[in-house]
Structure 1
């Protein structure tokens, strides 16, 4: 992993209607989207592990463009993100995360579909592990991955958050938002 010390890591709490989660960005882009209704410690511990030696600073102004695009998504007005990302992982994780971004808005793929898409059809479990390590929920849409039999499977943000995101994309939450 590259050295990323002596930098400022910015964070804010995105609170929109019933949605509430922490987001983090480096100077290069969005680095982390937290789980719904989780404490500050979930985010700060992640930053400490991934950006050791960096200063964590709340800066709502610096984070405004990220918040804006996420809110537009939560309002059902945005299907793709134009904000820059700054995520780091193994080459395999990066391949899987890139594949997640290929899942069209409002659709779901299975873990097997992702494994086949990246031309590693026998790597279904490894795909699941890589998806579980995705640091930027929503924007790298791991919520669009379901079990082969169509069941909802694990999600760092919790199955309630996953269900709400899938319902949002299918139009079932349009009246609510």
Structure 2
């Protein structure tokens, strides 16, 4: 499975745990998740820098190698489609299902968002319910609202 290193980053929405493999960023976990900190603790300067710029409103997209090992099948397809939602915009779960050519897979898209191993960098926070309400978010509703407001203010 390879070797992992991890680091923590303090952010306006709480501590994030960044897990890196030889292929790139493999996981972004909210500190509240109690994520396993496997391998050695080691700084990931580029990811920390880019996330810091994002939270400061100075970065709209990330340029990091991503390791998709914690995602597969339809979930991976839906999670990759999240990267196509522009900064400052949102989509509904139904719109994302149609984007991946499976309009009946709204619940599966919701599950893909809920299990996204790379939140923030792969922007599942940009997906809302069809009525415009927030829907769920692993980091909690306050974090999702904060991220959407950041993008709206920086847009």
Tell me if both proteins adopt one fold, taking TM over 0.5 as the criterion.
yes
Highest Rg: 1 or 2? 1
Unmatched 5+ residue regions in structure 1? 48-54
Deviating beyond 3 angstroms after TM superposition, the runs of 4 or more aligned structure 1 residues are: 16-19
Shift of 1:87: 1.7
Contact 2:96 2:109 in 1 (8 A): yes
TM-score normalised over the length of structure 2: 0.93
2:113 is the counterpart of 1:131? yes
Give the Cα separation in 1 of the matches to 2:83 and 2:126: 10
Q: TM-score, normalised by structure 1?
A: 0.82
Instruction: Give the counterpart of 1:160 among 131, 134, 142.
Output: 142
Where 1:43 maps in the other structure, the secondary structure is coil
Q: For structure 2, which runs of at least 5 residues remain unmatched after alignment?
A: none
Match of 2:42 among 59, 65, 69: 59
Secondary structure, aligned partner of 2:87: coil
Residue 11 (structure 2) pairs with residue 30 (structure 1):
no
Pair 1:59–1:17, CA change in 2 (3 A): same
Whole-angstrom CA distance in 2 between matches of 1:150 and 1:26: 36
For 2:103 and 2:12, the matched residues in 1 are separated by: 40
- Displacement after TM superposition at 1:16 (Å): 4.0
Deviations 1:146-175 (A, max 9, x none): 000000100111111101100100017x9x
User: Structure 1's 156 and 16: CA in aligned 2 closer, same or farther, altered over 3 A?
Assistant: closer
Q: What CA distance in whole angstroms lies between the structure 2 residues aligned with 1:156 and 1:18?
A: 12
> Is the aligned partner of 1:149 residue 2:145?
no
Of the three residues 98, 101, 104, the one matched with 2:80 is 98
Matched, 1:78 2:44: no
How big is the alpha-carbon RMSD for the aligned residues of Structure 1 and Structure 2? 1.8
8 Å contact from structure 2 (residues 25, 64) kept in 1: yes
Whole-angstrom CA distance in 1 between matches of 2:64 and 2:108: 28
1:19: Cα distance to partner?
3.8
